[in-house]
Amino acid sequence: MTEKWYNIQNKAGKPADVYIFDEIGTYGITAQEFITDIKDLKDTPINLRINSLGGDVFDGMAMYNVIKRREAKTTVYIEGIAASIATIISLGADEVVMAENSLFMIHNAWGGTMGEAKDMRKTAENLEKITGELTDIYRKKTGLSYDALAEMMDEETWLNANEALEMGFIDTISDSIKVAAKYDVSKFKNITQEEIQNKLSININNKKMTNELKEWFNNKVEEIVTAVKGDVKVSADVAEQTAITVNLGDNDEIKNKISEFESSNIELSNKISLLEEELVASKGTNETLTQEVEALNAKINKADAKGTEIVTEADPVVVENKKEDANAGFYNAMADKLKNKFNN
C-alpha cells in the first residue's frame, strides 16, 4: 500500500484531525478516497488542516459538497497555502481559520485539451461554467459581488490572512506556524518560489510574546527600561531576558525613544507651569478689578444717597452739589464700563 499524502488522527472524545498537505486529485488524494476515509467520522467534529496548491477541480468540488453536508462541525485550518480548488474545499467548513503567515489564492478554472477547433471551444465553454460555479461559492461565503470576484479570479489573486479576513473568505486568524514545505508554483502567473518562501517563513525570535512573557515583561518593565538605558544595577533575570528573550530591537533606537519621551514630559511640565502662572496672574487681576468695582459702587451709592459730588481720595472733601443726577449718571456709566471689562 502506498503512503498517502494526508492522514487522519482520531482520538476518542476529541475532534478528528485530518491533514491535507498536498495536491488534490490523481497525484494526491481523490474525492473517493477522502469520502471513504471520513465516512466513519460522520458524528465526529473534524479539524481539517489544509496546506495545498489545489489540483483537480472535480475532485475538489466533490470534497466540498461532502464537507458541506456533514452534520458534525468541520473547522478548516489553513496552515501554509490554500490555492485554487483547495480554497473551495476550505469553504465547505463551518468555520475557516487561517494562520497569519499563510496564503489564500483564487483564480479561474483552467485546463487544456487536444482535438479540433470545436473541441477547444467546448473546453472553453466548460471552463467558463466551472469558473461560474466557483465564483458562486466565493460569493455566498464573502458577500462580494460577482463582478468583483470575477476580476480577482481573472488576475489570479493572492491574499494574506488579513486580506482574506477583510474580504470574508475566512472567519478567524490564528498565530503564525512554522511551514517547512516547498511548493512548485511554476504553473501560477503572479507569484514565484522565492516570494512564497518569504511570505511563509517565520523567524521564531520575532513571534509575539507569549502571555507568560507579557506578564513577566509588565512586572519588570521599570527594570528593563533601566537596563536599556545602560544603568548598572538590575536583577539577573532582567539582564538575561532583556539581552536574550525579550526582543526589544536596537538599544540605540530604544534609548532615543526614551529620551524623546523624557523630553516630551519636560516640555509638558513646563507648559503646565506656565499655565499655572498665567492662571494665578489672571486670578490676581480679577480680584483687583473686583475690588475696584466694589469701591466705585460704594462711591456711587454714597453719591446717590447724599446728592454730593465725589472728589479724589487725595481730597476727600464732600461738597454739596445740587446736580446730583448728573454726577450719579457719570459714575454709573464708569461702573458699567469697568463691569464690562471685568466680564469680558
Could you give the CA distance from residue 57 to residue 250 in angstroms, rounded to a whole number?
Answer: 49
Could you give the CA distance from residue 138 to residue 197 in angstroms, rounded to a whole number?
Answer: 26
Could you give the CA distance from residue 285 to residue 280 in angstroms, rounded to a whole number?
Answer: 9
Taking residue 149's Cβ as centre, other Cβ atoms within 10 Å add up to 21
* Residues assigned a catalytic role: 84, 107
Q: What cell numbers appear for 160 in the block?
A: 494574506
Using a 10 angstrom Cβ sphere, with 0-12 exposed, 13-18 middle and 19 or more buried, the burial of residue 29 is buried
What phi and psi values does residue 29 have, to the nearest 5 degrees? -125, 130
Could you give the CA distance from residue 112 to residue 119 in angstroms, rounded to a whole number?
Answer: 10
